[in-house]
Homo-oligomer: A and B are copies of this chain.
Amino acid sequence: MISYEEALGEVLDNPLELGVEKVSLLESHGRVLAEDILADRDFPPFNRSTKDGIALDFSSYEQGRRDFKITGVLAAGMPQQTLNDKEECLEIMTGAVLPAKADTIVMYEETEIENGIAKILSQPKKGQNIHQKAADIQAGEILLKKGKTISTSAIGVMASVGKSYVLVKRLPKIAVISTGNELVEISETPLAHQIRKSNVISLSAALKSKDIEHQLLHLPDDKLAITKEIKQILAEFDVLMLSGGVSKGKFDYLPEVFEELGIEKVFHKVSQRPGKPFLFGRNSEKTKVVFSFPGNPVSTYANYHVYFLPWLNRSLGIPLPSEKVVVTEEVVPHEFLTLFLQVKISWNENQLQATLVKGNGSGDLVSLALADGFIKVPKGTTTFEPGSQFEYIPAK
């Protein structure tokens, strides 16, 4: 049985090459840029007023003039005008183009306007209140680099440079597969020995929150049927994500089926709790990967966050996040197993603080309802004091 560290290393050594696709800008939030985004023009594209006020020629002020006759009003969206006379000024609104032959803007609050004459009350500086053409960036320069995860502000930036469609890394297409004859649909009333599907529903919600295309499928506990279906699923999807069917039980055919269908077992079982009987595999062409999680709800949920999300980040070229939390109480490690303990999170001063959610083993619904994520507790024999720091794996 391999350690958690070895298992994660293997998973990260098997990313998929997913390629790229074009998506509409408004659909691109959270996706990974697959092209550099360049400024298509200077920004600002013109000398732009940053205040509402009057535009004038500073040399005239320098020569002692304080009263300027107003000869027009410039709004944002108007083509550039010209200040024809140094003794005159033009009213100008925020966002408007600085007129030719003007070089300074005085805001309304620093003027007194009467009978079409603006009197300057302040001591302006040459060039003030103007956002100079190309001050932010010049046409052709890179605004956003390939590989960046697209934020909502990045979407605004791309809108500015006219990217209606944007090239992003493709996301994997995933089959989310439940196994086990005891499972019934959410809308059904289970018999005494049955339970409703829930693991794959959580997985589906988690994938949906990342806009990952996926399909929910179910396999019965029958080896022939499983073999036939998995074969077809492997042809259609990049990733198989299964819940259940990989422990040592008589009806846990999946490991055999994978082998028969050319899925190489990279590892099966990890010295961790929950989530020990996890099987990770891939085909020899490295075009398909299989995450076969154990069937307990907390096991599946933990392993999705502990293995699948880092794998996804690696496949997309996103650096792996590493959050740390401080615990409020003693944490007892396991001598041989890495533990993933469910925690609730809060901010205390400037620290993210974790409180253990007391579960009742990995079948516990209540802990799933309450937890914000997991802390990773390395194996060992020394109890961690309150205030100890752990790696935090958010799971919302």
Query: Is there contact, CB below 8 Å, between B152 and A192?
Result: no
Query: Is there contact, CB below 8 Å, between B181 and A368?
Result: no
24 contacts between A and B (CB under 8 A): A25-B186, A26-B204, A29-B205, A41-B190, A45-B192, A52-B247, A73-B250, A75-B221, A77-B183, A79-B191, A93-B249, A143-B365, A143-B366, A151-B396, A152-B206, A153-B202, A153-B301, A153-B368, A156-B205, A159-B197, A162-B187, A164-B187, A321-B347, A322-B347
Given that A156-B201, A205-B26, A352-B350 are contacting pairs, would A131 and B361 also be in contact in the complex, using a CB cutoff of 8 Å?
Answer: yes
Chain A 172-208 interface 0/1 with B at a Cβ cutoff of 8 Å (1 = within): 0000000011110011111111111111011111101
Chain A interface SS verdict (over half): loop
Interface size on A, residues (CB 8 A): 109
Chain A 88-101 interface 0/1 with B at a Cβ cutoff of 8 Å (1 = within): 00010111110000
Chain A 243-260 interface 0/1 with B at a Cβ cutoff of 8 Å (1 = within): 010011111100000000
Interface residues of A in 11-55 (CB under 8 A from B): 25-26, 29-30, 37, 39, 41, 43-46, 48, 50, 52
Specify the chain B residue showing the minimal Cβ separation from A154: B369
A102 at the A/B interface (Cβ < 8 Å)? no
In the assembled complex, the CB of A161 is this many whole angstroms from the nearest CB of chain B, namely 8
Contact of A153 among B73, B189, B371 (CB under 8 A): B371
**Beyond A75-B250, A136-B360, A156-B202, 8 extra complex contacts between A and B, CB < 8 Å:** A43-B365, A52-B252, A131-B360, A144-B369, A152-B209, A162-B186, A321-B347, A352-B352
The distance in angstroms between the C-alpha atoms of A199 and B160, with both chains bound, is 9
A48 to chain B: which residues have CB within 8 Å? 363
Stretch of A114-122, A282-290, A323-331, A332-340 on the interface side: A323-331
A295 at the A/B interface (Cβ < 8 Å)? yes
A2 at the A/B interface (Cβ < 8 Å)? no
